[in-house]
A and B are shown apart, each in its own frame.
Chain A
Amino acid sequence: MSLSLLAGTEAERRLLPGGTLRGPTPYVIAIMTFAMMIVAAAGLALANAAGIVAGAVEHRYVLQLPDGSAPKLAAAVNAAKAVPGVTSVEPVPEAEMRRTLEKWVGTGGLGEDLPVPAIIHLNLEPNTHAARIGAALTRAIPGARFIAEQATVQPLLGSLRALRWLAVAMVLLMAAATSAAVVLAARGALDTHRQTIEVMHGIGATDQQVALLFQRKIALDAMVGALAGGAIAALALLLVGGGGLALASDLTGGPPLHLADLIALALLPVAAVLIATLVARFAVLSALHKVI
């Protein structure tokens, strides 16, 4: 008997009758592959979003002034520009600050005589000592607070990273569930074909020859299931997920999935087939070892 993985001769195929799609295996693998791809796509998109957000605020800081009157703001801007390591200084216009504050204090709540705080966005050079720059700025601008934007978005980044790991865990759990389903399918197939196995063993077939028959059958089932599940998942990601992905893209300012992510997603059905095939082989060989 040849040791080809999936082809097999016509005579070998006749030994275990029943083509693909006869049992639950292809359907289970299709569902699992579909779910794995959707969850993996979400996980990858979250990971990318977290990366984009973290990258965007990595060197960004905020200087808060309690009194944002024009002379003080101008002095603070000049002082910030003078500190080495500061690459850009962007004060938020007073009108914009007023509009923002009116949301809390109401229209007309801010009198002309009431000082409006000011915010200045700063970009620092990479690899600069931010704390030292912060200290220099707060010395030069009394009352100012120097805040890293990363600290502001940290809760969001933490949530995104947790969701990414949750997605990884779910993909692994689904892979484990797929493996368990394959083990059950392999055991069922062994029971169904027990007589054939006994005869084959009796006339000198090796465990590897017997296992190959089952492995090939389950690999074909897995391939059909994984292709179907993968195709439906791809369609769902394009049609249903397209809107969400576009929104995520707008929010983060970057593509939700890169080419490498798409390749990883496309490899998931292949991985599902390989896992199913290896698990089937292991399950069959383990079962065969219990007989003489």
Chain B
Amino acid sequence: MLRNIIICFCLFAACCSFGSQVNRIVSLGPTVTTELNILGVGNKIVGNTIYSKDSKNIAKIGNITEANVEKIVSLKPDIVFATDLSNPTQLALLKKLGIKIFTMHNPHTYQAMCEEFVKIGELVGRKSRAESIVEKSNREVNVLRAESSKYPKQKVFFEIGANPLFTITKDSYINDFIKFAGGINVASDASAGIYSRENVVANAPDVIIIMSMGIVGKQEKMIWAKFDTIPAVKNNRIFIMSADKLASSNPLSFPGTLKEIMTKLHPDKVK
């Protein structure tokens, strides 16, 4: 019996040991880097994209779409975290050279985001820390959801690209921001691609949220001002939000951003 327990313990340790043996991590996306930092393994990152602003001596291995295979190999990573935007040919080359890769897919829902976060935690030996962060996030989100369900639903148009016009469909977790905040995404059933401004006018959203890109955000606001049949325009409920907060969300930041959106949707009600 004791022998069995010892064997089980050893197997269990072996399973966990990969996680604790991860000492050198390469990240191919700033979102991943942020999550790794949250999990407390930021000091194990040896390679990063040029977009991650950290002051440490971390090697730069490329940008979000192009990674330098040679550089990565020379860093001898234990694991490489890739994203949907990483070049598949380069990933195939890394795989061929025996490097372990985990590809993060842009989560379609908040739940998927949490599951992926836990998976990352598992891979770097911080599973329990990941799980507790997710648990806390879930609690806060549920509280906010309960609150927003009391308020009348608001029709929302979420603009993430101007010239041409791009929006969020139900394929993105940002859709969950809208849902949980008590909003209805007017474009949720649309297919990918350029969205027609006509459709927005026809859908008459109560709120328009523009994911800002500097001056473009202000210019877009002025364009929308021409369509004063839209309630959002009439009632001056067009908001600009920062792209970082929205596009690089993680379970830790999610509740905070959700609250911010809720205040935009239900201004008199949320404090």
Decide if A and B are genuine partners.
Answer: no
The interface of chain B, by Cβ under 8 A from chain A, is none
Give A contacts to B, CB under 8 Å: none
